[in-house]
Amino acid sequence: MQFQVLKVGLVLALIAGVIWVQPGPQTAEAAAFKPVICGPAGLHSAAASKVIKVADKSGLSDAEIAYLYIQANLFEVETAELGLARGTAADVKSHGEMVARDHKGVVRAFEELIQMNGIKPVSTDAAVNAEKQHSAVMEKLKSKQGAEFDKAYLQHEAGNHRAVINALKTVLIPAAKNDAVVKHMQAMLPAFEHHLAVTLKAAKNAGVKLPG
Ligand SMILES: [Fe+2]
């Protein structure tokens, strides 16, 4: 049981992308599900990427997985829109525009899918913590300007995309029981991996060193 709790905490830490951005004061209120923001999907590939097959140890229900997945996408939208608005380098602005557009599309498609499959997202304490961690990330990014913002943004985006891809492959997809949910997540992986590749290229162009 203790392992299970630790595992869920790890997943959420990964999803929240807090690997490189230290959490600030936890001032955010409990996570309320945000309104759906719809937009063109703009995804780059529907081909399923190779998924690591591991046994599910998380104990997450499909309802909890759906909440975490939508939450992670909305976090991406929020940071990306900040990148578009505040970024200085052209690479950062175009990155923010692409990532926000794509993840809005993912949320729209996934919400349609879970509605058709009778899955209603359910929050957990861990999801509330993820919201607090995301709020700390946003607070930190908003405190920066110019090249310092670009650097912090690209570092966050690289870490967050790596974390989300890893969480999808090793936890969320293995834990999901609904076939449509699994297929959706597998189909989205190439797009998320494309985002990571674009992030790494933008960081290289900007001379931003990334941990790892
Ligand atoms: Fe992304």
State the distance from the centre of ligand 1 to the C-alpha of 69, rounded, in angstroms.
Answer: 12
State the pLDDT at residue 55. Answer: 61
- Return the closest-CA partner of residue 61 out of 4, 3, 6: 4
pLDDT in tens, the chain (212 residues): 343 433 444 444 444 433 333 233 332 322 333 333 333 333 333 344 444 555 667 789 999 999 999 999 999 999 999 999 999 999 999 999 999 999 999 999 999 999 999 999 999 887 998 899 999 999 999 999 999 999 999 999 999 999 999 999 999 999 999 999 999 999 999 999 999 999 999 999 999 998 76
Q: Which two tokens stand for residue 48?
A: 């399923």
State the distance from the centre of ligand 1 to the C-alpha of 70, rounded, in angstroms.
Answer: 12
Q: CB of 92 within 8 A of CB of 83?
A: yes
State the pLDDT at residue 67. Answer: 97
State the distance from the centre of ligand 1 to the C-alpha of 192, rounded, in angstroms.
Answer: 5
State the pLDDT at residue 177. Answer: 96
The domain ranges of the chain are: 60-130+141-212
DSSP type of residue 169: I
State the distance from the centre of ligand 1 to the C-alpha of 1, rounded, in angstroms.
Answer: 32
Instruction: Tell me the residues surrounding ligand 1 (ion) with CB < 5 Å.
Output: 76, 99, 195
State the distance from the centre of ligand 1 to the C-alpha of 131, rounded, in angstroms.
Answer: 17
State the distance from the centre of ligand 1 to the C-alpha of 64, rounded, in angstroms.
Answer: 20
The pTM of this model reads 0.77
State the distance from the centre of ligand 1 to the C-alpha of 103, rounded, in angstroms.
Answer: 6
Q: What is the CATH number of domain 60-130+141-212?
A: 1.20.1260.10
Burial class (CB in 10 A: 0-12, 13-18, 19+), 150: buried
State the pLDDT at residue 8. Answer: 42
State the pLDDT at residue 125. Answer: 80
